[in-house]
Amino acid sequence: MIKPAQFGFNGQTAETNTFQKKLSENHNIHEEAIKEFMQVVNRLDSKGIEVLVFESDDTDAPDAIFPNNWFSTHQDGTFILYPMFAENRRRERNLKAITMIKNNCHVTNFVNISDLENQNLYLEGTGSIVFDHGARIAYAAISPRTDKILLNQVCDIISYKAHPYSCKDSKGNDFYHTNVILHIGNGYAVLYEQGIGNQNEKTNLVESLKESGKEVLPISLEQVSSFCGNMLQVKNQKGDLFLLCSETAIKAFNPSQKKVLERYSEILPFHIPTIEHIGGGGIRCMIAELY
């Protein structure tokens, strides 16, 4: 996790991220975001979930709190550095974090494709790609921030199967990231499928998830707007499974949906309204997994 030097509304990403909302006044936005951030860190720690926290010293990187977009790690020792859409988000790459991970987390294959952003090619980490690590499938909703060619290149590197598809919001715009409309956990998947206009793509996606042993839990567009797709399942040091979500998300699930989620892991909600509202990203965006 990355503690930002100055959290705030990012005008460079607002055109493609409709989840962002700009307040009329910027009073206490950073302070409130830091309170929410530390609440997440402390609660994860209280559950025995190991967290490494780095600090950004760049006050011109308002989205530094979302590290999952600029790198991913993999169990085979691969570390991938990704190309970012917004110029100010490229400032988020944290050299201290990269160095620590390379030196201490058994990185055997460091892959840097970030320079492709100079060719206007983008793939924003586990925002763009939702990995099913058990089935070795990489799901990605293609958008201005998620390039299909780069998806295939990454899948070639880590020997995963690429599964691209198209999904649009109520205005006909591509969803900016896959991880707001698809969440994959151990034994289940949360999916927004109504925006997939191509029936074959929709059928193939659902079948792929089911064939991988996933119970598919559909969510509505309204639930997507409440970050019901932006969740992350993690393990603590004892091996217990937890579903990280926001209070916004858990309140939007109906009782039957909650029962499904509770079958697979303990639900751990967080109060992060400032980060969600201003940053347009939820709890999943705040965490980059170390494998």
Sign of CA dihedral 252, 256, 258, 260: negative
| Angle at the Cα of 50 from the Cα atoms of 126 and 283, rounded to 5 degrees | 40
Q: What is the Cα–Cα distance from 209 to 187, expressed in whole angstroms?
A: 10
Instruction: Give the count of beta carbons closer than 10 Å to the beta carbon of residue 97.
Output: 21
pLDDT at 20 over 60: no
- pLDDT at residue 28, rounded to an integer: 86
Give tens-digit pLDDT for 57-71.
999 999 999 999 999
Q: How confident is the model at residue 14 (pLDDT cuts 50, 70, 90)?
A: low
Q: What are the chain's domains? A: 2-279 (3.75.10.10)
Percent of the chain with pLDDT over 90: 88
pLDDT at 11 over 90: no
Structure tokens of 76?
A: 């085979």
Output 221-227 pairs: Cβ under 8 A, ≥24 positions apart: 221/169, 221/170, 221/192, 221/194, 221/195, 222/252, 223/192, 223/249, 223/252, 223/253, 224/175, 224/180, 224/181, 224/192, 225/19, 226/251, 226/252, 227/19, 227/180, 227/252, 227/276, 227/282, 227/283
pLDDT at 179 over 60: yes
Q: What is the Cα–Cα distance from 184 to 42, expressed in whole angstroms?
A: 25
Please, where are the H alpha helices in the chain?
29-46, 95-104, 125-128, 148-158, 199-211, 221-225, 247-252, 255-264, 273-279
Q: What distances in angstroms separate CA 210 from CA 118, 160, 206, 263, one per listed residue?
A: 38, 17, 6, 17
- pLDDT at residue 158, rounded to an integer: 97
- pLDDT at residue 18, rounded to an integer: 66
pLDDT at 87 over 90: yes
Q: Which residue shows structure tokens 């969803």?
A: 175
pLDDT at 26 over 60: no
pLDDT at 17 over 90: no
pLDDT at 24 over 60: no
pLDDT at 189 over 90: yes
Which residues are CB-contacts of 169 (< 8 A; sequence separation ≥ 6)?
18, 175, 195, 221
Give tens-digit pLDDT for 190-201.
999 999 999 999
Q: What is the Cα–Cα distance from 262 to 264, expressed in whole angstroms?
A: 5
Burial of 28 per CB tally in 10 Å (0-12, 13-18, 19+) = exposed
Q: Which residue shows structure tokens 């892959």?
A: 111
- pLDDT at residue 23, rounded to an integer: 66
- pLDDT at residue 157, rounded to an integer: 97
Supply the pTM of this predicted model. Answer: 0.94
User: What is the rounded average pLDDT of the residues 133-152?
Assistant: 97
* Residue closest to 234 by CA, chosen among 84, 157, 126, 152: 126
pLDDT at 129 over 70: yes
Q: What is the CA radius of gyration of the chain?
A: 18
Q: Which residue shows structure tokens 């990355």?
A: 2
Three-state SS for 137?
Answer: strand
pLDDT at 83 over 80: yes
Q: What is the Cα–Cα distance from 179 to 160, expressed in whole angstroms?
A: 18
Q: Give the chain's mean pLDDT.
A: 94
Of the candidate ranges 14-23, 117-126, 174-183, 240-249, the one whose mean pLDDT is the lowest: 14-23
pLDDT at 27 over 90: no
User: What is the rounded average pLDDT of the residues 219-238?
Assistant: 97
b/e for 101-138, b at 16 or more Cβ within 10 A?
beeeeebeeebebbebbeeeebbbbbbbbbbbeebebb
